[in-house]
Amino acid sequence: MSFTTLDTDPPHSHTPQSRLQVALVGNPNSGKTTLFNALTGLRQKVGNYPGVTVEKKEGRTPLANGQSANLIDLPGLYSLVPHSPDEQIAREVLLGLRADTPVPNLIVNTVDASNLERNLYLTSQLLDIGIPIIIALTMSDDAEQAGIEIPVKELSQKIGVPVIPVTATKRIGLIDLLKAIQSYEENPKVTPVWEPPANAVEVIKRLQESLQSTFHLDPKIAQVEAVTLLMQEDPSQLHERLNTEQKQILVATREALANAEIDFPTVVINARYQWIANVVEVVTQGHSSAERQAASSNEKLDRVLMHPFWGYVVFFAVMMLMFQSIFSWAQVPMDWIKSGIGYLETLITNRMPAGDLRELLIGGVLGGVGNTIVFLPQILLLFFFVSLLEDTGYMARAAFLMDRLMSKVGLHGKSFIPLLSSFACAIPAIMATRTIGDRKARLITILVSPLMSCSARLPVYALMIGAFIPNRPVLHIGRWNLLTLPGLTLISLYFLGMIIAFVMSGIFHKTLLKGVSPTFLLELPPYRLPSLKTAVLQMIERAMLFLKRAGTVILAITTLLWFLSTYPRHPELPNDQKTARSFAGQAGHLIEPLIRPLGFDWKMGVGIVASFAAREVFVSAMGTVYNVENAEEGEGKVDLQKRIQDDVDPRTGKKVFTPLVAVSLMVYYVLAMQCISTIAVVRRETNGWKWPLFQIAYMTGLAWVGSFIVFQVGKLMGWGGG
């Protein structure tokens, strides 16, 4: 309910010429993203909101009338009073405060049928905005299996908006939901759920009017903004858009409410929970016994998965299975991609005359970008498994479990999700640290996140493991190889990064960033069957992003590297010496004294320097350097593993790459900060260059020392150093 003196109809109208804008809103773990994927399929795009690092997901869904609606999948949130950048972005979109995103014509609010009370708190806030709402009642099948019966018609009448039961994974209810979206304008006017106390109306009115006139807001939106500002516990957390006068009005309003003995946050919260109680009272048939039964099932699983001992055993077993599968299952599609690239190279060699263009296509494009794309199946499998773990509800348990260890080294339980996200990419992981309230714990998480092996390192690991680690069984049952030496090596690299991240966290916690270990509160979602469609769609989405990166950043770098590896030309020299005398070769020889103690030669130095742009560029750089040597003769095959296995140092007559050198190189990439994009994000998140430069220094030092120890100790033990 709005203030009577300012109550007008909201300007959220939809013209026939414009596409219907639908905001998908809900609590985390309410099935929102699964519903988004089911409605949009492949008709979606992912980016970032301009000016911030919060991910923006949009997609189109066709309607029965031949038109389509634009769906915006907003970040999950529990309340319109923001506590993180994700929640801030979501509320700004809903309130029409972002110029880069259209004001939604309609809100589809996902509400978990098995947890109505928690989900309806957000619904009570959405009703205040005045935008038409449709409730998508998700997890309906889970509720039914648990014996929870929800009378949908009564629930709809009580709330005053359409309620559509959906099971997105089985596409149940989607047609009804689309029909409701199409005819949303026929819905009754949304009614807010609470009314300010009579003695507070005039007090709040001045703040509301100031916001309305300054920012040209609809009265309902101005009221929501005013209420949000007054709900913030910390008066210093003022809306960044407020001017000096409005800040003064806000302080005066707080004081006036205090003088009137009005505890405004308590009044608002109590009113919302009273409304929720009234709604739930009529629709909770069978809830008590069913909820106890569901809780009992979850508790039985949690006794094992969150056990102080067996919980860790299960966690490490899951991680080992995931990484072994990544290495084993990806081999066949990797061979397909490699064969396809080899076919293209043969075709170019046979059809094009010798010259710079052919050399560029073979040595630069196919030799560089092609060798990177070969490892795409492994990256996609990683995202597939992470998506399945998130959908089952196990990821939250793992976060809670790991908090026992992380709190001892100054990390927050919320640090686990960013750290686990770093297995995909450190950039969104660092952005995700914004949900960590403790500043020191957040900074420690930022500093150690890049130590977790991201998907960009996977091509480097796969190249070295495939070339130098023999495929021998380590753990097998009969003819089934549960764990092989390559799989164990890959797992070891990931765990090495995790262990070093924990060690460095402890050091930072006791030295640079001393503080009290923060407490961790986490809501554990119920266990659910994962959505294969959601996992596959996430794989496709990441594949597109990876291929886009390969076709832009990596292609540009490999093209430049091809030029630097080819010129200046020395036709009188053998091919391998031509590359050594090129611009790239001269740069590699310049830094070779620094990396020779690690077992690396000048070619690896070229790859290391090039991979500061992106870690996976090391593979394309090696492909370019080795292919340039033979492209003139039409022998520039893309089998990079064979090339590095056969490469001999003309000065010593020994192999350049050996198993020991490969391990040393992989350890270097586990520990080194080889990503300029990550550095840029750290600078933005820490508001300066102090911590990014420190991060570069300590990680580079770690990488050098770690590789030095591995290589030199390996030589002393007779493992060979090339």
Question: Does residue 5 have a pLDDT over 50?
Answer: no
Smallest Cα–Cα separation from 209: which of 12, 3, 9? 3
Write the pLDDT tens digit of every residue in 168-189: 878 888 999 999 999 888 887 7
- What's the average model confidence in pLDDT over 658-671? 94
State what percent of residues in the chain have pLDDT above 70: 80
Question: Does residue 631 have a pLDDT over 60?
Answer: no
* CB-based contacts of 495, cutoff 8 Å, min separation 6: 319
Give 660-683 as a DSSP string. Answer: HHHHHHHHHHHHS---HHHHHHHH
Q: CATH 1.10.287.1770 region(s) of the chain?
A: 198-283
Please give the residue that has the higher pLDDT: either 276 or 29. Answer: 276
Lowest mean pLDDT among 550-554, 646-650, 659-663: 550-554
Q: Which residues pair with 655 in a beta bridge?
A: 648
Write the pLDDT tens digit of every residue in 584-594: 778 888 888 99
Write the pLDDT tens digit of every residue in 324-356: 777 678 778 888 887 888 788 788 878 888 777
Question: Does residue 240 have a pLDDT over 70?
Answer: no
Write the pLDDT tens digit of every residue in 148-170: 678 888 888 888 899 999 988 78
Q: Give the number of other Cβ atoms within 10 Å of residue 557's Cβ.
A: 22
> Which CATH number applies to 198-283?
1.10.287.1770
Q: 7 pLDDT band (50/70/90 cuts)?
A: very low
pTM assigned to the model: 0.60
Q: CATH 3.40.50.300 region(s) of the chain?
A: 20-186
Q: 18 pLDDT band (50/70/90 cuts)?
A: low
**Environment class of residue 721 by beta-carbon count within 10 Å: exposed (0-12), middle (13-18) or buried (19+)?**
middle
Architecture per CATH, 20-186? 3-Layer(aba) Sandwich (3.40)
**Environment class of residue 606 by beta-carbon count within 10 Å: exposed (0-12), middle (13-18) or buried (19+)?**
buried
Write the pLDDT tens digit of every residue in 492-546: 998 899 889 889 988 888 888 776 555 544 556 667 777 777 778 777 877 777 7
Q: 3 pLDDT band (50/70/90 cuts)?
A: very low
State what percent of residues in the chain have pLDDT above 90: 13
Question: Does residue 404 have a pLDDT over 80?
Answer: no
Write the pLDDT tens digit of every residue in 693-722: 999 999 999 999 999 999 999 988 887 654
Smallest Cα–Cα separation from 6: which of 196, 184, 188, 189? 196
